[in-house]
Structure 1
């Protein structure tokens, strides 16, 4: 079996086979499943992510959830090892970060116990709901702080693997779509 870094390289190579337009098109059925997920529909406070170019495209969906009356939270990378959560109310909340990605600049959110649903991006997920991230451990550390939230892994079908090596720090998600 490949190690985590080899798997990340393999998934990056798979992603490169698609244009940004193709990835955006492939995102639509995944977003439809997310939109119709009963756990998301029932939740008031949700954490989503503002997608990077090689991830399932979420930008419009994030705004749609605000318009639907959800309290929407987004992650912000603040160091090599930490991320914080900020409230998102619209595009006026977004700015290019020092990491070169669009992130929210809104109010820091600390009431983790009120988060009911988290859409979790990943480089890959396996049939046991293990997640392979980008290698910094941001989500593993964060998810350990919100054990009561329902976690839904989001990725393209070509990112799904049979098995991903996992250690004690790796947090499984509740479901993968």
Structure 2
């Protein structure tokens, strides 16, 4: 099995073989499937992410879920090892953060038990629900705090592998789309 560093490198190279438009087009199917999930439809509070250019595009889904009256939360990177969660109210809330990610301003959201669904990006996923992130561990540390939330990994089809390397700190997804 490939080690984490090599697999991340392979996925980064794969991503570069697609144009921005191709990645956006592939995102449409993934997001349609995400929004159709019963767990998402019934959720009141959802932690999503505001996508980078090489991730499944979530900007429209974030706004759509807010329009449906759901409480949408987004992560904010606050240090090399920690992220906090803040409520998203609309695009006017966003500022460019430390990792060039658009992040909401405002006070931290701390009622973790009320989070029904967490939508998690990743570099690679496998059929057993294992996820390989970007290597900083932000999501794995946070997911450990919300053990009852339904965890949905989202990725492009080329990011699905037979197995991905994992260690004890890695948190499994309930479903991969």
Give the structure-1-normalised TM-score: 0.98
Structure 2 equivalent of residue 29 of structure 1 = 29
Q: Is the 8 A contact 2:51 2:101 kept in 1?
A: no
Structure 2 equivalent of residue 83 of structure 1 = 83
Gaps of 5+ in 2: none
SS at match of 2:11: helix
CA deviation after TM superposition for structure 1 residue 127, in Å: 1.2
Structure 1 equivalent of residue 150 of structure 2 = 150
SS at match of 2:99: coil
How many pairs align? 177
Alignment of 1:26-175 (within 5 A): 26-175=26-175
Gaps of 5+ in 1: none
Q: Is the 8 A contact 2:50 2:101 kept in 1?
A: no
CA deviation after TM superposition for structure 1 residue 100, in Å: 2.1
CA deviation after TM superposition for structure 1 residue 107, in Å: 2.6
CA deviation after TM superposition for structure 1 residue 57, in Å: 0.3
- Aligned counterparts of 1:99 and 1:176: Cα–Cα separation in 2: 25
Structure 1 segments of 4+ aligned residues over 3 angstroms from their partners? none
SS at match of 2:147: coil
Measured against aligned partners, the alpha-carbon deviations of 1:117-160 in whole angstroms (never above 9, x if no partner) come to 01111101011110000000000000000000000100000000
Q: Is the 8 A contact 2:71 2:87 kept in 1?
A: yes
SS at match of 1:108: coil
Structure 2 equivalent of residue 11 of structure 1 = 11
Measured against aligned partners, the alpha-carbon deviations of 1:69-95 in whole angstroms (never above 9, x if no partner) come to 000000011111000000001001101
CA deviation after TM superposition for structure 1 residue 47, in Å: 0.6
- Aligned counterparts of 2:2 and 2:66: Cα–Cα separation in 1: 40
CA deviation after TM superposition for structure 1 residue 28, in Å: 0.3
Give the structure-2-normalised TM-score: 0.98
